């Protein structure tokens, strides 16, 4: 091949790379142990272009993310919308709002957290995953929750160990849109600040995360839940900008109504509590939602 032909081929190759500025990847989440752990299971695919991301749920055990639903964001996951194709609705995915409500519910139920601690235990080379080099991090979070509600007193200790294999080369903000949402907040301001400070040390996109949580009620047997999220494939892509738009004609609803069931909002408007009297925590959550 002549030098001119070689140079032309190189220019074409570089042009193709520049046009494929985004990513597409697939990931699975599997949970073992604990009550209702199957609700954590999911299989998803995602397309990303800078701050834009679209996350499709191929399979899911959670009613909040039914198969066929998808999320979109245009600001790197700061604002996420869940789109339900079957119901033709969309709702803002407000994890911080739910954490705030949970924190308020903790106060109303006289729940107090003591001895919160977050430790970084490890940072080392993590080997190659999905064709990319990784850094392996390990964190440990621990605290004790004490509750005095309706005459019931309990103390539950929780310890979470989190292993993360992250690739610093993968730094598009949209890549972390779903992973960041999985790192749910506790609703306790001090502990959430500690967790956020440590997670800020992780560079790039986590290709694998294993979270093992052990909870022990005073005088009880320790219960362990293990949740593994792993990227199974990732490659360059050039997604259509239209993929990151909310579908025309869909109705906006609330994440809260999806969480408590479709009848929760209607019940609130009619003054009924839709079975919440059978569950004191749900009753408190409904009361707090009405007061927002």
70-73 sheet: strands from edge to edge: 111-129, 132-149, 152-167, 205-217, 223-237, 22-32, 42-49, 52-60, 70-73, 81-84, 89-92, 251-253
Rounded to 10°, the helix 263-270/280-290 angle is 70
Q: pTM of the entire structure?
A: 0.75
Indicate if the pLDDT at residue 70 is higher than 90: yes
Beta bridge partners of residue 17, listed in sequence order = none
Q: Count Cβ neighbours within 10 Å for each residue of 141-155 and write b for 16 or more, e otherwise.
A: bbbbbeeeeeeeeee
Reported as a single tens digit per residue, the pLDDT across 227-286 is 999 999 999 999 999 999 999 999 999 876 655 554 444 444 444 444 444 444 444 444
pLDDT bracket for residue 20 (50, 70, 90): very low
From the candidate CATH numbers 3.30.420, 2.50.20, 1.10.10, 1.10.3470, the one assigned to the domain spanning 21-253: 2.50.20
pLDDT bracket for residue 219 (50, 70, 90): confident
Q: Is the dihedral of CA 177, 160, 140, 29 positive or negative?
A: negative
pLDDT for the residue 188: 67
Query: Pairing between strand 70-73 and 81-84?
Result: antiparallel
Reported as a single tens digit per residue, the pLDDT across 105-119 is 666 667 787 888 889
Domain range annotation of the chain: 21-253
**How much of the chain exceeds pLDDT 90, in percent?**
45
Q: What average pLDDT does this structure show over 133-161? A: 88
pLDDT for the residue 77: 85
pLDDT for the residue 281: 44
**How much of the chain exceeds pLDDT 70, in percent?**
71
Asked whether 43 and 70 are in contact (CB, 8 A), the reply is no
């Amino acid at each position: 091949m002549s030098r001119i032909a070689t140079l032309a081929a190189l220019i074409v190759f570089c042009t193709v790379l520049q046009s494929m500025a985004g990513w597409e990847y697939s990931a699975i989440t599997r949970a073992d142990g604990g009550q209702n752990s199957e609700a954590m299971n999911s299989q998803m695919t995602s397309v990303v272009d800078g701050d834009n991301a679209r996350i499709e749920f191929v399979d899911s055990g959670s009613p909040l993310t039914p198969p066929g639903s998808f999320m979109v964001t245009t600001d790197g996951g700061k604002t996420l919308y869940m789109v339900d194709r079957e119901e033709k609705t969309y709702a803002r995915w407000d994890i911080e709002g739910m954490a705030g409500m949970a924190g308020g519910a903790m106060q109303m139920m006289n729940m107090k957290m003591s001895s919160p601690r977050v430790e970084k235990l490890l940072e080392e080379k993590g080997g190659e995953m999905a064709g990319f080099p990784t850094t392996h991090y390990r964190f440990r979070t621990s605290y004790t929750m004490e509750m005095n509600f309706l005459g019931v007193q309990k103390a539950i200790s929780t310890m979470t160990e989190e292993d993360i294999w992250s690739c610093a080369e993968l730094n598009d903000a949209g890549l972390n849109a779903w992973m960041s949402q999985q790192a749910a907040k506790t609703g306790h301001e001090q502990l959430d600040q500690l967790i956020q400070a440590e997670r800020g040390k992780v560079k790039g996109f986590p290709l694998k995360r294993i979270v093992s949580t052990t909870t022990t009620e005073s005088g009880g047997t320790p219960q362990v839940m293990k949740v593994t999220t792993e990227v199974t494939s990732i490659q360059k892509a050039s997604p259509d900008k239209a993929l990151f738009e909310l579908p025309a004609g869909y109705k906006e609803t609330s994440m809260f109504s999806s969480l408590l069931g479709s009848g929760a909002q209607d019940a609130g408007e009619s003054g009924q509590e839709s079975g919440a009297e059978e569950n004191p925590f749900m009753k408190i959550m409904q009361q707090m939602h009405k007061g927002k």
